[in-house]
Structure 1
Amino acid sequence: MIHRPARPLLLLSFAAMPLAHAQEVKPTPASPEACVAITSNAARLSCYDQALSRRVADPQAADAAAKTASENQKQQLDTAIPQDAGLAERTRQHTATLFKNDLYDATIANAGKGSLLDSRWELAKDSKLGTFQLRAYKPVYLLPAFWTSKKNETPSSPNPNDTVTSPESLDSIEAKFQLSFKTKIVENIFGDNGDLWGAYTQSSRWQVYNSEQSRPFRETNYEPELALVFRNNYSLFGWKGRMTGIQLTHQSNGRSDPFSRSWNRAILNVGLDRENWALVLRPWYRIPENERQDNNPDIEDYMGRGDATLTYNRGGHEISLMARHSLRSGDRSHGALQLDWGFPISNLLRGHVQVFDGYGESMIDYNHRATYVGLGVSLLEWY
């Protein structure tokens, strides 16, 4: 078989170009009229902001204004509810404010404007940029050096059809790259709240230094997603609850037996942030498959039933720590930790460090434990 390794690198470069282009530093326009001809909504809005010398939104000020407006709204609501209203009616009236539909009150709808999660998901009313704007989702990077402490040369599964019997000849050092983007498909499904996003992530592990095996791609994972995202506004232990989302995710490696691995999940996405921090909690439910066709029936015991990602963003540095676990005890207790650090080098070029320890660095390695360390570059920030 003839391998053509150059094409994926070209794909990575071209796919990242439109995303990186959005981050280019442009000169301040002489007047707002200079922005009229710009076709991209996001770029045109940025141009107007520069022309009018607008400051970056202050999430704390937006939260304070929203809190005042919310208190006034609550007083009006308490006055409007009859004294003899039953518990069910009072509960319905008050819980209706969790997923807000604030066409009448832009102040409340703009709570958290400029926060980390708002910049990532366009949550505030005035942060929305319309549909089909291509945006970064998960980190986009190229790691020419990706080392593992333990190679998985005989991938296995409880399904006998998905167990490799002849060992592969693998190197401990390979290359890894990831592409990830999202776009809003429908905006403001419920008044001025509720956006439907589509996302796609692809990551590849390439045995580029393994000349004896013709430099094969060891593993590529594909992950399309749909996410329905709602803006929230509540406080919890000093954190601000910004969003709740429901995701449908398919993840697979697109291979045939005995290497085939896949699963489908319904994911609850809860996002909170404060100052330079963001915390995303994601419990999920695996959608059942036919028992005979299930390539990895015990995948939840290794790649988990939920994860939490804590991100710190300041001065161009982005550091995230992901932790996931099977939420089971005994011999079913497994999990993983992953650290990503993106840092500026010069202009648009960024460095990227990744450290992973645990089970499931990729789909083929879902029940294989190892430590991985990667070093490379990234073309854009993901927050």
Structure 2
Amino acid sequence: MISLISRLLPLLLFALSFIAQANSVDNKTDKAELPSHKALFEMCLFKAIKSADKTATLAEIEHYCEQQVAEKVISKNSGQSVELGVLANRVIREKRTAADPYVLTPHKMNYILPLSMVDEINRTAYQGLSDWADELKDVEAKFQLSLKVPLLTDSLFRQGDQLYFGFTLQSWWQIYSEEISKPFRETNYQPEIFYFTPISFHPFGGNSALVVGAEHQSNGRSQLLSRSWNRVYVNYLYEKRNFALSFRPWYRIPESEKESPSDGQGDDNPDILDYMGHFELGLMYKYDSAYELSFKGRNNFATHKGFVEFGVTFPLWGKLKGYAQMSSGYGESLIDYNVNQRRFGIGIALTNLL
């Protein structure tokens, strides 16, 4: 772990310093023209309470001021009219509960798919290591839990930025395989540290932000079943009203070769980029308050191998929402990274994307 941190930290610090230098002019403008985020909010709150309608609640007034502050930070007092989209409104909602110790902030989507059907499982990986291979079923359960924690109480380089620690867990559970005691076939762990900042780039009347991060992903297994890799990434985010886009290229941090396949040190999967590619494109659309559509795609143009995933949330009853997911390609899980799979799952969305 110490070796991992020593590799990731210099690259992340370099990326942060690059952003800080690139935004130095804007940062001076921020400091010269804009008070702190907290001061802006308090000034707006004071004025709004004095002039607000008597029927307005404090929560409504706070939400109004948070939107006003966000618009001012994004526009940088340039006079340009800014319309907040789905990503900006998610950030506003998260800021309201960031200091609440009883609230966990979602990072990626959280969901449970009790029924997840796949046409191919990497049974070869388990041959000779357990009695699972012949008993694994193509119907299993899948779930994802993803949280993030803000590491700052105020801005770092510029107004509206934040440093986060995130953690995502994905698991594939052979809940229908009674013959082998319903094991968790594969679990992937993904801790990361990342920096988020809005930027003064408004193509087609939308808003933009940059995320720079470093992450480790592994399945926590040993020897022949071990899979892991480390990478640094830059993520460009774009929003316009109910539409959001994410474009995330990455660089894999090299590892030394293994002396033998059973060696505990070295690269578990040296060809993983052939299947996982060098970038990920995400598209999201919020259709009223009941439906969210999402797309995620990766590709390696040299090997022509990639992955696509489509998702949709839909109302069930009350505040409970259903979630359906369909995917095809390589790299849905680390143990199956070099296996071409088609999967369909249906279940419950615990949190929204937007």
Give the alignment's TM-score, normalised by structure 2: 0.73
Partner residue of 2:304 out of 333, 345, 348: 333
Q: Following the alignment from structure 1 to structure 2, what is the Cα–Cα distance between the partners of residues 226 and 168?
A: 36
Q: After the TM superposition, list the runs of 4 or more consecutive aligned residues in structure 1 that deviate by more than 6 angstroms.
A: 56-59, 162-167
Tell me, yes or no, if structure 1 residue 168 matches structure 2 residue 137.
Answer: no
Q: Alpha-carbon deviation of 1:182?
A: 1.1
Equivalent position amino acid for 1:168 in 2: A
Q: Following the alignment from structure 1 to structure 2, what is the Cα–Cα distance between the partners of residues 176 and 230?
A: 32
Answer yes or no: is the 8 Å Cα contact 2:236–2:247 preserved in 1: yes
Alignment of 1:1-383 (within 5 A): 48-50=58-60, 52=61, 62=71, 66=75, 69-70=77-78, 111-112=82-83, 114-122=84-92, 134-155=104-125, 168-169=133-134, 170-186=136-152, 187-236=154-203, 238=204, 240-292=206-258, 293-314=266-287, 315-326=289-300, 328-329=301-302, 332-383=303-354
SS of residue matched to 1:267:
strand
Equivalent position amino acid for 1:48 in 2: L
Residues 381 and 130 of structure 1: CA distance in aligned 2, closer, same or farther (over 3 Å):
closer
Q: Alpha-carbon deviation of 1:70?
A: 1.5
1:219-256 Cα offsets, whole Å, 9 max, x none, are: 000011111111113222x2524210101111110001
Consecutive unaligned residues of structure 1, counting only runs of 5 or more, are 1-31, 33-45, 73-107, 157-161
Residues 184 and 354 of structure 1: CA distance in aligned 2, closer, same or farther (over 3 Å):
same
Q: Following the alignment from structure 1 to structure 2, what is the Cα–Cα distance between the partners of residues 129 and 232?
A: 23
Answer yes or no: is the 8 Å Cα contact 1:337–1:358 preserved in 2: yes
Q: Alpha-carbon deviation of 1:123?
A: 11
Q: Alpha-carbon deviation of 1:164?
A: 6.9
Q: Following the alignment from structure 2 to structure 1, what is the Cα–Cα distance between the partners of residues 320 and 350?
A: 6
CA RMSD of aligned residues (A): 3.3
Q: Following the alignment from structure 2 to structure 1, what is the Cα–Cα distance between the partners of residues 205 and 257?
A: 42
Residues 56 and 333 of structure 1: CA distance in aligned 2, closer, same or farther (over 3 Å):
farther
SS of residue matched to 2:226:
coil
- Which structure is larger by alpha-carbon Rg, 1 or 2? 1
Percent of residue pairs bearing the same amino acid type: 34
Q: Following the alignment from structure 1 to structure 2, what is the Cα–Cα distance between the partners of residues 267 and 163?
A: 37
Q: Following the alignment from structure 1 to structure 2, what is the Cα–Cα distance between the partners of residues 299 and 130?
A: 36
Answer yes or no: is the 8 Å Cα contact 1:324–1:336 preserved in 2: yes
Number of residue-to-residue matches in the alignment? 287
Q: Following the alignment from structure 1 to structure 2, what is the Cα–Cα distance between the partners of residues 54 and 218?
A: 44
Consecutive unaligned residues of structure 2, counting only runs of 5 or more, are 1-44, 46-55, 259-265
SS of residue matched to 1:118:
helix
